[in-house]
Amino acid sequence: MLELEILKTFGDVDTESSFKKITTIRIGGKIKYLISPHTFEDLKNLLAYLKEKNAIFKVVGRGSNILASDKDYDGVVIRLNKLDNCYFQDEYAICEAGLSAVRLSTLAMNNGLSGIEFMSGIPGSMGGLVYMNAGAYKSEIKDVLDSVFVLKDNELVWLDASECDMSYRHSIFMENKDWIIIGCKLKLNKGVKEEIKELINDRLNRRKETQPINFPSCGSCFKNPENNFVWKLIDGIGLRGYRLNDIQVSEKHPNFIINNGNGKSEEFLSITNKIKKEVKEKYDIDLNLEVEIFEW
């Protein structure tokens, strides 16, 4: 049994939260304890306490790639949003896992450093970006990743990027769910602030034109199969705009599934299963989800 007063010694504790509140798709059940540790020491102590109590927990960044179950979660969700420091040393950016990728791209621009303009519209944390090997516009975090600071088996280690098994929307962290990314070091390039700004604006404008960014979503729902695009396949099976109650395949970009208000996880999954089935029947292609389904 976890004790609220003890949990409060490790950071801010919210007992009224839900996955609906902390994920960008705005879906999911209540969370018994949502905790934001203030420091790395808080996080370590919290983990030791949870281990001692045999409590279940889930680490999240900014919840922009998670579809959580509609059921209530009787465990602890650890949000790293307070661990968001960053500094620059020569051409390197060293940051904590909770730092927003959007913020880091702006900080890098202000420091005249180029290479992460692609992440200026990705609404995740740096931990989440490394976990997912997130990318856009033919760039991925792995292109600039030098090393990752990881809490692994209760020990802090720096993993070189080459040890992180990164490929298209994949990293070693997906196979080691108990490892926690604490921070990362990125190798950037010297650039000209005005040019970096122009590239960022270009990327943001392209997003506005092509993605339903004003609606709750998890970004791209499926990974693109080799040499193909999911949005074309979904168009091919006639499901652009398809709707089940408040969950809808976006009219603007069919690989985005949006929540028009009161969508449920079950409805989201019913649509993704329908897409998978029909794409398989028509094109003999197996689609894989990019969004993580978190169930318990």
Binding site for ligand FAD (CB under 6 A): 24, 58-66, 80, 97, 122-125, 127-129, 131-132, 134-136, 173, 180-181, 213, 217-219, 292
Say which of 91, 140, 267, 290 is annotated catalytic: 290
Query: Any residues with CB less than 8 A from the CB of 17 and at least 6 apart, and which?
Result: 30, 31, 34, 77
109 three-class SS: helix
String of DSSP letters for 115-171: S-GGGGG--SBHHHHHHHT-EETTEEGGGTEEEEEEEETTEEEEEEGGGS--BTTB-
Q: DSSP letter at 4?
A: H
CB of 265 to ligand FAD, least distance (A): 14
| Closer to ligand FAD by Cβ: residue 129 or 237 | 129
Q: DSSP letter at 172?
A: G
| Closer to ligand FAD by Cβ: residue 17 or 64 | 64
Residue 226 annotated to the active site: no
CB of 207 to ligand FAD, least distance (A): 7
Distance, in Å, from the CA atom of 228 to the CA atom of 45, rounded to the nearest integer, reads 46
CA geometry: angle 87, 91, 92, nearest 5 deg: 45
String of DSSP letters for 193-257: HHHHHHHHHHHHHHHHHHS-TTS---SBSBPPPTT--HHHHHHHTT-TT-EETTEEE-SS-TTBE
**Would you tell me the crossing angle of helices 193-210 and 101-110 to the nearest 10 degrees?**
150
CB of 255 to ligand FAD, least distance (A): 10
Kind and range of the H or E element at 113? strand 113-114
CB of 98 to ligand FAD, least distance (A): 7
Residue 227 phi/psi, 5-degree rounding, is 60, 30
| Closer to ligand FAD by Cβ: residue 58 or 187 | 58
Say which of 100, 114, 220, 250 is annotated catalytic: 220
| Closer to ligand FAD by Cβ: residue 191 or 219 | 219
User: Looking up tokens 């689609």, which residue turns up?
Assistant: 287
CB of 78 to ligand FAD, least distance (A): 9
| Closer to ligand FAD by Cβ: residue 214 or 284 | 214
CB of 5 to ligand FAD, least distance (A): 26
Say which of 169, 217, 250, 267 is annotated catalytic: 169
| Closer to ligand FAD by Cβ: residue 123 or 191 | 123
Residue 220 annotated to the active site: yes
Distance, in Å, from the CA atom of 149 to the CA atom of 58, rounded to the nearest integer, reads 18
Q: Give me the active site residues, please.
A: 169, 220, 290
